[in-house]
A and B are shown apart, each in its own frame.
Chain A
């Protein structure tokens, strides 16, 4: 008797388990089908309907269009030296300006040193987010409108775009310091500025310098395209080659960009390895 009751309850449990598994399988199938439909729809809207198929033509014609870039315009190289240097300088000056501008954001954004947390902390977070969520091209458009065409707009665009990252990581470094030296410096009668200089800076400086160099490396990449909107550097040459249909020249510019990016990576790697 006991046994049969036992089996019956087992039966019910088995049914329950099977029902639950079927339900789960069905849900998975529905979600899968919906996702698949969504992908198909996206491809249709963005690729199928939005592409000028007449202009692309056959596969051979596509290859031909691409092969227009398969060459280097060596005659362009002498004219690339100036813009290449300008691109590097925009990255350097932009990063330097960014480091200076990020001081208030870092100071306000580190919970343990922010002067008046309820106001200054959110303010700093807002500055960091604003800096990072606006694309460098958009910053450049803004500064071209403010300063006119030229490298200065590029320097400011790079600086504004750099604040967020450097300030965020620096503020986090400050939040992670060992509080012991801070206590020791306060105990000697040091004022806030002295505590910052003696107890906080030595602990975070290597990390801040490392972050700034990393950002500088990224900024070389960014400054290479800023010319597209008239903010100086290689981007402008790139744009001009494109507009005059000199596709070999475009490849030359890309090579120049690659060269300075490699240079930047090598220098950044060297400095950071030596510091750690």
Chain B
């Protein structure tokens, strides 16, 4: 069974505004590294934010592990979000907190208000955070403030934070767009390696088609909210790419 089933998803930001997503459907399965490609403004960011409802879709269905996400109450939605890790283009770390506190923030969904106020995380969370930071290569930076790190290091903190949730699905919103090409490849390799190790499927917005072809096994190509291509990466070719990115030339 697919971990994530999206059917005829539509979204617009205001009642009279333009429709950003015009009926998108796809499945993400257990070991997929699933890419969403397309030019700027195609609706990639909106699509990925609909999955954990940072943006509310206007219609359509999103089933996550068999459960309809679009109809969840706000508390059920928070429970669902705990199982969905997210990594952002601009990292979205809390600059004034330490690397450790940033990673522990991944546990907020499991932590009560009182414990949050005094940052009292259980010992096993701190153990887990240290282990993850070691895995992403930041064991020497645990006590540094997040804004002291370089871009690549900051994204590694983002990866550790997302994995801290013990996610059943990872959403990656342009995880490498703010990084240089060499670091981008390293970060993608790290995400893929950790995802495979932990058996977590990934859904990844990505601008860089070469990286997408290299790391992803399936992809959909969006253009102006419409699916132009859907299938295994091997079926993608130059002609189809030209068609997807045709708008960008204009």
On A, residues with C-beta under 8 Å from B are 180-181, 183-191, 193-194, 197-199, 202-203, 205
Contacts and interface: CB of A to CB of B under 8 A. Distances in A.
13 contacts: A184-B92, A187-B81, A187-B86, A188-B82, A188-B86, A188-B105, A189-B80, A190-B105, A190-B109, A198-B97, A198-B108, A203-B96, A205-B96
Contacts, number: 73
A191 B113 contact: yes
A163 B110 CA distance: 35
B94 interface: yes
Interface in B150-184: 161, 165, 171
A210 to B, nearest CB: 14
- Among A181, A183, A197, chain B packs the most CB atoms within 10 A around the CB of A181
Interface of B: 52, 54, 78-82, 84, 86, 88, 90-97, 105-111, 113, 116-117, 161, 165, 171
Given A193-B116, A197-B116, A185 B95 contact: no
Output the residue of A184, A187, A194, A205 with the most chain B CB within 10 A. Answer: A187
A198 B92 contact: no
Nearest to B86: A187
Contacts of A202: 94-97
Contacts of B117: 197
B54 A193 contact: no
A189 B78 contact: yes
A188 B81 contact: yes
A187 B78 CA distance: 8
A194 B92 contact: no
A198 B105 contact: yes
Given A197-B117, A198-B108, A184 B95 contact: no
A185 B88 CA distance: 12
A94 B82 CA distance: 43
B156 to A, nearest CB: 15
Given A180-B88, A193-B116, A198-B116, A188 B94 contact: no
B82 A183 contact: no
Contact of B113 (A187, A193, A199): A193
Contact of A185 (B52, B84, B105): B105
Contacts of A198: 94, 97, 105, 108, 116
Given A193-B113, A194-B108, A198-B108, A184 B96 contact: no
Contacts of A184: 86, 88, 92-93, 105, 161
Contacts of A183: 54, 88, 92
A188 B165 contact: yes
Contacts of B95: 202-203
A187 B54 CA distance: 7
A186 B105 CA distance: 11
A193 to B, nearest CB: 5
B93 A181 contact: yes
Contacts of B91: 180
Contacts of B81: 186-189
B116 A194 contact: yes
